[in-house]
Amino acid sequence: MKHLLIVYHSQSGATAQLADAVARGVAQEPDVTLRVRRAMAADTRDLLWAQAVIFGSPENFGYLSGGLTDFLARTFYPALPHQLSLPYSAFISAGNDGSGAVRMLERIASGYPLKPVLPPVIVRGVPDAEGLQRCEELGLTMAAGLAMGIY
């Protein structure tokens, strides 16, 4: 069994809806075990357990949320000796275009280093059926690639 971690931050509930959709996609792959954690509850042990990670964040003030940034800051130095090179992707609940949040995540992730393997899904405004479907597809694609050894 492969291990996939979803770490997300949500205040309004929109990003939590997207995280649920991503998790539904991952659940369709029987050879992948899923762990879903809110960013403030997640820690380095979760990263060490994982073989791939999907990050979720609202776009706050045009950037990545403070909650997800906090997770990445708290886990960076403890994870450093383990030389993690996990494949990752992301989903963003955006009020604008989401590009600032994506750019910030890419910059932070490159320091771990984590490997981007799928384009991020950006859902603007209130999550609708199309946005939730794209998130579900993200989860399934990441899980299938992990199960097949592509990532």
Q: Among residues of the chain, what percentage have pLDDT more than 90? A: 96
- Average pLDDT across the chain, whole number: 97
Q: Specify the pLDDT at position 84.
A: 87
Q: Specify the pLDDT at position 56.
A: 98
Looking up residue 126, the CATH number of its domain turns out to be 3.40.50.360
What is the band of 110 on the pLDDT scale with cuts at 50, 70, 90?
very high
For range 87-111, the mean pLDDT: 96
Domain count within the chain: 1
For range 139-145, the mean pLDDT: 98
Q: Specify the pLDDT at position 39.
A: 98
pLDDT of 128 above 90? yes
Q: Specify the pLDDT at position 150.
A: 95
The structure tokens listed for 17 are 């809806």
Question: Whole-structure pTM over 0.95, yes or no?
Answer: yes
Q: 143: Cβ–Cβ under 8 A, 6 or more apart, which residues?
A: 2, 4, 25, 26, 28, 29, 32, 34
pLDDT of 94 above 90? yes
Which range marks the domain in which residue 70 is found?
2-147
Task: Using alpha carbons, select from 8, 51, 55, 45 the residue that is nearest to residue 29.
Answer: 51
Contacts of the segment 61-64: beta carbons below 8 A, 24+ positions apart:
62/96, 62/100, 62/101, 63/100, 63/101, 63/104, 64/100, 64/101, 64/104, 64/105, 64/108
Q: What is the pLDDT of residues 23-74, one digit of tens each?
A: 999 999 999 999 999 999 999 999 999 999 999 999 999 999 999 999 999 9
pLDDT of 112 above 90? no
Q: Specify the pLDDT at position 83.
A: 87
Q: Tokens 């992301």 map to which residue? A: 90
Q: Are strands 52-60 and 63-64 parallel, antiparallel or unpaired?
A: antiparallel
For range 75-103, the mean pLDDT: 95
